[in-house]
Amino acid sequence: MACNGLIQLLVLFVYLSAKVDSTNVIIMLMDDMGWGDIASNGEPNRETPNLDTMASDGMLFTDFYTGNPLCSPSRAALLTGRLPIRNGMYTTNGHARNGWARQDVTGGIPDHELLLPELLSKRNYSSKIVGKWHLGQQPQFLPLRHGFQEFFGSSNCHLGPHDDKKAPNMPVYRDDQMIGRYFEEYPIVNGKSNLTLLFIEDALSYIDKNVERQTPFLLYWAPDST
C-alpha cells in the first residue's frame, strides 16, 4: 500500500438508535481506494454487497472531492472542515510541510484547530478512532489530545519493515499507550495481515458498548489498507 496514493472518502453515513435521542455518527475513510473500486460505482470484477446496500438504502454522492489526494491533509480537512492550507496540514504533493507524516516528521495538527470529536463532546458524545491517525506522531498530536476519547490503531501508515537503526517500525496504540509495532507484534507478510479484521472487531465492540449504554457516539474508522 503506497501511503501517498489517492485517498477517497468512501461514505459518511449516520443512523438513529432507538435508545438514544442523538444521532450516532460513523465515518469510514478508505486508504488508496479509487472511486470505481466498488460495484455500486460500476466495478464489474469486485463484489461489495454491504457497501452496495448502504449506497442503495442511503445517499450516494457521485461527485465528491477530498481536501487533498494525500494522507495527512485529507484527514485534517475531513476532521476540521477546513482547507489544508488553513488547518496547517498541507502539501505541494512533494511531501512538503506536514503533508505526509512519516516517523521523522515532528509536526502535526495544530492545537488551535477544532476537530469534529471536540465539537461533539459538547453534546456528550463518546468518540473513538480505529485505524490510521496520520496527523502527527508526537504525544501532543495524538488523537486523545484532540478530542477523541479512545484510539486503536497507528499514528502513521505501515511503511517498512525498518531496521530500528535508521528508523523504527510504526507504533500501534491502544488509547495513549503504545502496545506494539507493525512487522513485530503486528506482523505484515507480503502486504497482508489481520489488522483490518482487528479493526472491524474493535469497531463492532465499540458500537455495541455504546448502544448498550445508550450513549451517542462518533466512530471514525480509517483502516490504512483496503
User: Euclidean distance between the first and final Cα of the chain, in Å?
Assistant: 8
Round to whole Å and give the CA distance between 109 and 214: 31
For residue 200, the SS3 value is: helix
Q: Which three cell numbers stand for residue 77?
A: 480537512
Which residues is 152 bridged to in the sheet? 130, 174
DSSP β-bridge partners for residue 197: none
Task: Please give the grid coordinates belonging to residue 76.
Answer: 485534517
Query: Distance from CA of residue 13 to its chain's centroid?
Result: 15
User: What distance in Å separates the CA atoms of residue 151 and residue 201, rounded to the nearest whole number?
Assistant: 14
**Residues labelled catalytic:** 71, 134
C-alpha cell at position 42: 460500476
* CB contact at 8 A, 155 and 129: no
